[in-house]
A and B are shown apart, each in its own frame.
Chain A
Amino acid sequence: MTRYIIRRLIQAVPLLIAISVIVFAIVEIAPGDPAQMYVDPEKGADPEYIAQVRRSLGLDQPVYVRYVSWLAKTLQGDFGFSFRTRRPVALEIGDRLPNTLLLGGVALVMSILIAVPIGIISALKRYTLIDYILSTLALVGISVPVFWVALVLLQVFAIHLNWLPGVGMRSVRVQYEGFEATLDVIRHMILPATVLSLAQTASWSRYQRSSLLEVLGQDYIRTARAKGARERRVIGLHALRNALIPMVTLIGLSVPSIVTGAFITETIFGWPGMGRLGVESINGRDYPIIMAVTMLSAVLIVVGNLLADIAYAWVDPRIRYD
Chain B
Amino acid sequence: MRKTLLSLLLVVGLLLPVMAVNAQGGEDFVCPNKGGTMVVSYGGDPRTLSGLYANDGNSLFVVTFMAEPLILGGENWGDKIEPALAESWEISEDGLEYTFHLRQGVKWHDGEPFTAEDVLFTYQAVQLEENAIDWRPNLMQGDQPMQFEVVDDYTFKVILNEPDAAVLTSLAIPIVPKHAFESLNMVDAPYNTNPIATGPFKFVEWKTGESITLDANPDYWRGAPCLDRIVVRFIEGATNTANALLAGEVDFARVDGADVTPFQDNPDFVLQTAPRDLMRYVGFNVRSPNFSDPAVRRALAVGLDRQAIIDVAAGGYGMLADSLFNRAVFMYEEGRNEQYPYDPELAKQMLAEAGWTDTDGDGILDKDGQPMHMRLAYMGTWSLMQAIAPVIYDNWRALGVDVELAPLDEAKAYEEIYENTSTEKPYDATIGGWGLFGPEPDHYRNYLANPTGFFAFNNQQIIDLFNQGRKVTDPQARYDLYAEIDRLLWEDLPMIPLYQAVGAWAYRSDLNIDAAELNGTFLTGLKYPGRVYFEAQ
A residues with a Cβ closer than 8 A to B are 31-33, 36, 38-47, 49-50, 52-53, 56, 84-87, 92, 95-96, 99, 154-155, 158-159, 162, 165-173, 267-268, 270, 272-273, 276-277, 280
Contacts and interface: CB of A to CB of B under 8 A. Distances in A.
Interface of B: 37, 39, 44-48, 55-56, 129-130, 132, 134, 136-137, 187-188, 192-193, 207-211, 213, 231, 233-236, 240, 243-244, 246-250, 278, 379, 382, 409-414, 418-419, 421, 432-435, 446-447, 454
Secondary structure dominating the interface of B: mixed
Nearest to B38: A173
A86 B188 contact: yes
A123 B434 CA distance: 63
A42 B433 contact: yes
A41 B418 contact: yes
Residue with the highest number of chain A CB atoms closer than 10 Å, among B134, B208, B446: B208
Contacts of B248: 162
Contacts of A99: 209
A268 B239 CA distance: 10
A158 B55 contact: no
Given A43-B434, A172-B37, 6 more contacts: A31-B412, A56-B132, A84-B47, A167-B243, A172-B233, A272-B209
B385 to A, nearest CB: 10
Secondary structure dominating the interface of A: loop
A32 B433 CA distance: 21
A56 B187 contact: yes
A30 B290 CA distance: 35
Contacts of B137: 46, 49
Nearest to B242: A159
Nearest to B36: A173
Contact of B235 (A41, A92, A167, A170): A167
Contact of B132 (A53, A267, A272): A53
Contact of A277 (B56, B209, B231, B379): B209
Nearest to B433: A42
The 3 A-B residue pairs with the shortest CB-CB distance in the complex, in nearest-first order = A272-B209, A32-B411, A31-B411
A95 B210 CA distance: 10
14 contacts: A31-B409, A31-B411, A47-B419, A86-B188, A95-B207, A162-B248, A167-B243, A167-B249, A167-B250, A172-B213, A172-B233, A173-B39, A272-B210, A276-B209
A39 B379 CA distance: 14
Given A33-B414, A158-B243, A167-B240, A95 B231 contact: no
Contacts of A41: 379, 382, 413-414, 418
B418 A270 contact: no
Contacts of A167: 233, 235, 240, 243-244, 247, 249-250
A46 B414 CA distance: 12
A169 B419 contact: no
B283 to A, nearest CB: 12
B136 A49 contact: yes
Contacts of A270: 234-236, 240, 244
Contacts of B435: 40, 42-43
